[in-house]
Structure 1
Amino acid sequence: MEKILFNLTLNSRDIGGVKTPNGKIKHRVVIRSDALVFLSEDDKKFLLDNNIKTQIDLRAGRVLSFRPSSLLNDERFTYFNFPLVEGSLKSLEENDSISALYLRMIENKEVFRDVFKTFINVDGGVIINCTAGKDRTGIVIYMMLSLLGVDFKIILNDYVSSDRNIRERLPIVRETIKDFPKFLGEAKEEYLINFNKSFIKKYQSVENYLLNVGLTIEEINQIKRKLLGE
């Protein structure tokens, strides 16, 4: 996946180009990222030039007030906030099982329903983010890739790349954001492997999960078609 170096983001990348059994995911249809707090005008121009005018922000709580999105009050963009409390920095610090936290996260079925319905109902691409871009965003991307039948090894490699990306960019960000949290959650293979096993045991597939949260077969097919650019 192509890294995108927005101003002071740690973990932004385009999921386009990933191979599926039915072709490659279209570029610039989904960008995953950490918080979009300090986007420059050039960053915004990049998004607009690529018809990415919708942000789906999964952050929750006070952080939305003291670290608001750069796109929140920009009339050129549409901003959605679907807060996932599970997966926040606080819950990660207090929970000793990341895979268990992910399992609790997906019980917020209304959030996942709204995320996927929004994805298919807006024109153009979307940028999906949380605070670090690896847990809440990571599970949404896991679902998108799994839905398309992407090999789990590829999904796993994308997941763990968040850890590398954050570590590479962290010194640059800390030069500007002095109070950036010292806690930096890890994205270890075992976290997603364990979650995936439990998820499949309970729901059998992402398609079944999405049906369970309230999407229709046609909406699920729309997700697939949009991701593949059909």
Structure 2
Amino acid sequence: MSGASSGVNVPAQAPAVPGAVNLRDVGGLRAGSAVTRHGVLYRSGNLARLDEAGVSAFDALGIRRVIDLRADDEVSQAPSPLGSLDLQMQRAPLFLGSVESFFARDVSLAELYRLLVDDSASRVVDVVRGIVVDQPVLVHCTVGKDRTGVTVAVALAAAGVDTEEVVADYARTEAHLPQWRNAAVVAHLRRLHPGAQHLEDLATRSPAPVMRDLLEDIVRRYGSAADYLRANGLTDDELRELSRVLVAGGGEPPRFSG
């Protein structure tokens, strides 16, 4: 596992991994008087475009576990070329239904995130357990925005990271998505769903207010992100370990005091 951070609140630069989409380290986020460690938890979109140089650069990160949040059809269409690497591959499909169905139903990002928290709670816990078991660890889905955004946000919040730091990390995704990719995806989806109001948000955006509202809703309903995970099976020992591995000086998960 990585050593402690210097304590300066500087989010890590995106690792140079050719072919990776939205790959970044969540080190450098404030957690009270502490800070998240660099080189422990990474997040990204799918890794299907990694060539030989990309796989080599990925291997150099030392990642020991990759947690893939995609459904079976997504994995079969865009498999990760990591079979030659010595790491644990963990599947934790987070959508109960196809990606296409959310565009067809024209759900908002807020609705989608509430569905993820409510309907896929056991899988969110599985992801957090995977983060606790092995580090460095990568959590990814297809774009690294929604499924990855929600699970990483919950994990960070449960470890004691400041809410606005969690929100900022989520919002950072939008700037990491290539414009050529956004234009092609939106044009394709618009042909399929010409009247959809939420299409561009679902496909390309990560607005801070949506994540802030989600985290506030979790606090209203459960007490805290840590209590949400407790309610769905994560133990206090696991929560303490989550804080310990993610936060320099961590070890005690936050408790709701309101």
TM-score range, shorter chain: 0.7 to 0.9
Report which of the two structures shows the higher radius of gyration computed on alpha carbons: 2
Report SS of the residue matched to 2:172.
Answer: helix
> Is 1:8 paired with 2:27?
no
Comparing 87-96 with 151-160, greater Cα deviation is found at 87-96
2:162 partner amino acid: D
CA deviation string 1:141-184 (max 9, x = no partner): 11122123323222222212111211xx243x69xxx8897453
Equivalent position to 1:30, from 26, 41, 47: 41
Comparing 21-30 with 199-208, greater Cα deviation is found at 21-30
Equivalent position to 2:242, from 215, 223, 228: 223
Cα distance change, pair 75–164 in 1 and its aligned pair in 2 (3 A): closer
Cα distance change, pair 148–87 in 1 and its aligned pair in 2 (3 A): farther
Please name the residue that 1:98 is paired with. Answer: 109
Alpha-carbon shift at residue 22 of structure 1 (Å): 4.5
Distance 1:75 1:163 in 2: 29
Comparing 36-45 with 220-229, greater Cα deviation is found at 36-45
1:50-69 aligned at under 5 Å gives the runs 50-69=61-80
Distance 1:97 1:216 in 2: 32
Percent identical among aligned pairs is: 26
> Is 1:78 paired with 2:97?
no
Cα distance change, pair 140–181 in 1 and its aligned pair in 2 (3 A): farther
Distance 1:88 1:8 in 2: 25
So what's the TM-score if we normalise by structure 2? 0.77
Q: Following superposition, which runs of at least 4 residues in structure 1 exceed 6 angstroms of deviation?
A: 178-181
Question: For this pair of structures, how many residues does the alignment match?
Answer: 222
So what's the TM-score if we normalise by structure 1? 0.85
Report SS of the residue matched to 1:3.
Answer: coil
1:151-170 aligned at under 5 Å gives the runs 151-166=162-177, 169-170=178-179
Alpha-carbon shift at residue 85 of structure 1 (Å): 1.2
Distance 1:102 1:38 in 2: 27
CA contact (8 A) 1:103 1:199 kept: no
